[in-house]
Amino acid sequence: MTNTLLETSGLTKRFGGLTVMNDLDFRINEGEIKGFLGPNGAGKSTFFNLITGVHMPTSGHIFYCNEEITKYRPHKVAAMGIGRTFQLNPLFGDFTVFENVTTAYHLRPHSTVGQAFFGTKTYHENEKYIEKSADEILEFLGLDHVRNELAKNLPHGYQKILGVARALATKPKLLLLDEPLGGMNPEEIQFSINAISKMRDKGITVLVVEHNMQILDILDSVTVISFGEKIFEGTPEGMRNDPTVISTYFGGAV
Amino acid sequence: MKKTGFAASIPFIVLLVLFAGLPLVLNSRTWIDLFVTIVFNMVGAVSLRLILLSGNLSFAQGAFMGVGAYTAGMLAVHLGLPMWLTIPLGAVMATIIGLITGWPFARLKTVYFSMGTMFMGQALMLFVSAWKKAGGAMGLSRIPALGAALKGVAEGIGIKNYQAAYFVILLLAIFSLVVMYRFEHCRVGTTLRALAQSEEVAASIGVNPTYYRLLAVGVACFFIGLMGGVQAHYMGTISYSSYGMNMTLWLIMYMMIGGSGKFIGPMIGAILISIVQGIANLMTSLSGSSNSAGFVAFSRWLGENSAYTPFLTAAVLLVVAYLLPTGLVGIPDTIRENKAKRADKKEIAAMTQKGGEA
Amino acid sequence: MNILINTLVLGIMYILASLGFAFIFNMLGTINLAHGALYMVGAYLCYYLCAMAGVNQWIAMVIAAIVLAGVGLLLEKVMFRPFLTNFDRIVMISVGLITIGQTIANILTGNKAMVIPSYGSGLTKIAGTSISNERLVTFGVGLVLLLAALYIVNYTALGRQMEAVSQDRLGAALQGININRVSAIVCAIGIALAAVAGCFMGAYLGLSSNMGDTMNLRILMLVMLAGAGSMNGILITGTVMGFLDTIFPLYFAGNAGSAIPIAIVVVLLLIKPEGFFGHELKM
């Protein structure tokens, strides 16, 4: 039996007169790797921003683990166990790669301000654990050889992977990846796809927004939207053969 | 963050020795006044930098020092509370007011925080100037003196009253600086820096931006308020005009001239610029006991032209702004960076030349 | 009637002084800390042209405005443009400039009472009340300048370019707008308007080295209450502030007269720190 992890109902977002997301019903099951696809400007990033509380929806509801999180602010959504990356991957540029990841261990384990200030035993134990497991994440994502580089000096592809590393450090149950393959070379793409498919073994549910169709190979299911409306829901194979998807997504070319 | 070894603590030890030792030798009232001013300015500039760590530049630190000073002063004058109570209460009041006025703006973009604090700081001091109980435009006077209270202790050790007061102030300042240093160098400081670099990312890893920004504001206001409270009791008379926009701008100048990248930067800036500001006063007072005609003439010239000293500071600030973006303590980094840039340019020039030949 | 005209005079002066600050805030996304100081410099320049060089006060005002416009061009080039992404550096330079300006003003003023010669003498009777011509002239010129500024913002190519740049700098640049040129012009106009306001206020209330601080406070209130990107909001908040600053000093002596309006603004900003007329702020 699969459980629903995240669900939206009637999610609508308007910026001024512009409707970016219209009455979207969406669900993702626990343990899935799901794709959220659509042409440019379809509202994919907006969807992430609505879930994570960066924007407030005009109407509709978002449920996560049977709790309504519609009005939660970003840090609270993160505390609920939703990790995310960004399309334009902003990062802590003046920190090293390692510091980027250790800083991201803000929630689990969490040291209170008092514990950190007085350097209590819990705090030191937490810090030790964080250093160890940050190195594990870096190794898992192949960033260990740039561990001490400043994040802003990394090539673009590495910065994207660092975004994933940072999101993993929050120990998410649900991971939202915003164009994780964007701007990568073929080698990096292959590596990242492998890494994403391994998330399943770690018990992390993944929702990924992507343009690159290579991602389809590892997806369990797909939702396709266009201009804020859902036009397809199903398996990757089904999507490849769906006439509506072909006409909107691939244009007249197919 | 980086491990701090013994080498990193040498500058602090040197400063500590100077600030503990020199006032024993240079024990005239003028000298001690200068030392006290430097100590206040140091803590003020460091507290300003603590807020800046989270990406916010506060334009109200001078006013919060005023809140601390007026709270302590009024509690002592009107209610007759003892100093060991009024001074901490001043700090607490500064924290409360700092949090209330900072809260609305900590939620918005950083530029709003600057505008908001700028407005709130000036507004606060304007209220004080309009409040009769606070002495109004005349300022608050007859605040019990710290030196007089320490008379017994001072006589016991064999130092002067105001010297004893200085050492109490120094102890409180050291306490403030140590707390703020620790605050920055544990995980909380890292989180604040992260917040300054990208609020978006910080929130995505679960950091509550408003909470952490206000935490920095609260701690900074507490210690600037503490200094304000002590200042009220050291001076005996306080005026709202000395905690206005000018005071805040000076604190910003100390911080930025010294360099906001390192903890010691604002301290260095405060020491150097406070000396520049106080030199005319000091020389005039020293020339009274001097036999050298040249020295007396020079001091008199300095005294007569003391109105011009702000030009010197402003000039230093402009030089720092254009040439030393990381301030005085950042000079080694700046030199290294410029060297690297020049080397890069040479390399590129060499490469393009080669390309041209080929 | 006198309250009305005083409200309008003060209001329009506040608005004139604030417009440049708001232009710079909207277009460059940064605050011009030195705006009050420049307002003061305009007033002092005007005074010295009148008192020392014996220039007519109107000509002196025009010269002051032109000089300050030049300063605006210069500031855009050496202060705003190179450091747009680095607020710290802008602050350092502004604080340096403010210090220099204020120190000069302090040295020049000393204990003297300095007032720019009045821009109008005598009284005019309107609807049964006598109103000083100075106020009418101040209001009239202020209104003309304000309308001109509004015309530029709303109906000219420059105004549309300003709007484009303030919404999206990069996008505007890609559309072929010379963003540096637009920014420079806006800085020049904005600071010249502040200088004009300085001249009138210098004649109205006299000169002091802290007149810049006082005005800076008003500018902050106007712009913050109005909210980001709102020009019409400034017109409203300016008029309201002019009214409050006229009415309260009539009933409360000393500093209380100016403290009460500010207390009202403090409360309003605690409730709605993003302002009342601006567009929605995105974090």
Q: Is residue C226 part of a domain?
A: no
Mean pLDDT of C223-238: 82
Per-residue model confidence (pLDDT) at position B5: 67
* pLDDT interval class at B4 (50, 70, 90): low
Give the N- to C-terminal CA distance of chain A in Å, as an integer. 38
Name the residue among B261, B18, B212, B13 with its Cα closest to residue B102.
Answer: B212
Q: Is B190 a residue whose pLDDT tops 90?
A: yes
Mean pLDDT of C248-254: 78
Q: Is residue C7 part of a domain?
A: no
How close C155 comes to chain B (CA, Å)? 29
* Window 113-152 of B, Cβ < 8 Å to C: 114-116, 118-120, 122-123, 126-127, 129-130, 136-137
Write b or e for each residue in C129-163: b if 16 or more Cβ atoms lie within 10 A of its Cβ, otherwise e: eebbebbbbbbebbeebbeebeebbeeeeebebbb
Per-residue model confidence (pLDDT) at position C274: 81
Closest CB from B116, B245, B318 relative to C93: B318
Per-residue model confidence (pLDDT) at position B189: 93
Would you state the structure tokens that stand for residue B297, as one six-digit string?
């003439």
Compute mean pLDDT per 10 residues along chain A, 254 residues long, and list them: 82 84 89 86 85 91 91 92 88 91 89 87 91 92 89 88 91 91 86 88 90 85 86 86 77 48
- Cα nearest neighbour of C86 on chain B: B325
Alpha carbon distance A96, A106 (integer Å)? 17
Per-residue model confidence (pLDDT) at position A254: 38
Quote the number of domains for chain C: 1
- Cα nearest neighbour of C33 on chain B: B115
Q: Note the pLDDT tens digit of each residue in B10-50.
A: 888 888 888 888 888 888 888 899 999 999 999 999 999 99
Q: Is residue C225 part of a domain?
A: no
Closest CB from C89, C221, C274 relative to B108: C274
**C267 in B contact zone (CB under 8 Å):** no
CB contact under 8 A, C269 and B122: no
Per-residue model confidence (pLDDT) at position A249: 67
Domains of chain A: 1-81+172-254 (3.40.50.300), 92-171 (no CATH)
Per-residue model confidence (pLDDT) at position C193: 92
ipTM (interface pTM): 0.88
Best of A113, A115, A129 to substitute, by most chain B Cβ atoms within 10 angstroms, is A113
Q: Note the pLDDT tens digit of each residue in C157-191.
A: 888 888 888 777 888 888 888 888 888 988 999 99
Secondary structure, 3-state, chain B: CCCCCHHHHHHHHHHHHHHHHHHHHCCCHHHHHHHHHHHHHHHHHHHHHHHHHCCCCCCCHHHHHHHHHHHHHHHHHHHCCCHHHHHHHHHHHHHHHHHHHHHHHHCCCHHHHHHHHHHHHHHHHHHHHHCHHHCHHHCECCCCCHHHHCHHHHHHHCCCHHHHHHHHHHHHHHHHHHHHHHHHHCHHHHHHHHHHHCHHHHHHCCCCHHHHHHHHHHHHHHHHHHHHHHHHHHHCCECHHHHCHHHHHHHHHHHHHHCCCCCHHHHHHHHHHHHHHHHHHHHHHHHCCCCCHHHHHHHHHHHHCHHHHHHHHHHHHHHHHHHCCCCHHHHHHHHHHHHHHHHHHHHHHHHHHHHHHC
Residue A23: partners with Cβ closer than 8 Å, 6 or more residues away: A10, A11, A12, A60, A229
Alpha carbon distance A234, B243 (integer Å)? 67
DSSP A81: T
Q: Is C76 a residue whose pLDDT tops 80?
A: yes
Q: Is C131 a residue whose pLDDT tops 90?
A: no
Per-residue model confidence (pLDDT) at position B325: 80
Range of weakest confidence among A208-217, A226-235, C15-24, C116-125: C116-125
Q: Is residue C104 part of a domain?
A: yes
Higher pLDDT among residues C257 and B104, named by residue = B104
Per-residue model confidence (pLDDT) at position A19: 85
Per-residue model confidence (pLDDT) at position B74: 94
* Window 87-106 of B, Cβ < 8 Å to C: 100-101, 103-105
**C91 in B contact zone (CB under 8 Å):** yes
Q: What's the mean per-residue pLDDT of chain C?
A: 84
Alpha carbon distance B57, B117 (integer Å)? 9
Alpha carbon distance A217, B109 (integer Å)? 42
Q: Is residue C60 part of a domain?
A: yes
Alpha carbon distance B255, B53 (integer Å)? 12
H helical segments located in C116-230? 133-155, 157-167, 169-174, 179-205, 211-226
* pLDDT interval class at B264 (50, 70, 90): very high
Which structural domain, as residue segments, surrounds residue C36? 16-209
CB contact under 8 A, B115 and C224: yes
Mean pLDDT of C191-217: 87
* pLDDT interval class at B97 (50, 70, 90): very high
Q: Are A104 and A141 in contact (CB under 8 A)?
A: no
Per-residue model confidence (pLDDT) at position C283: 34
Mean pLDDT of C107-116: 78
CB contact under 8 A, C107 and B308: yes
CB contact under 8 A, B204 and A94: no
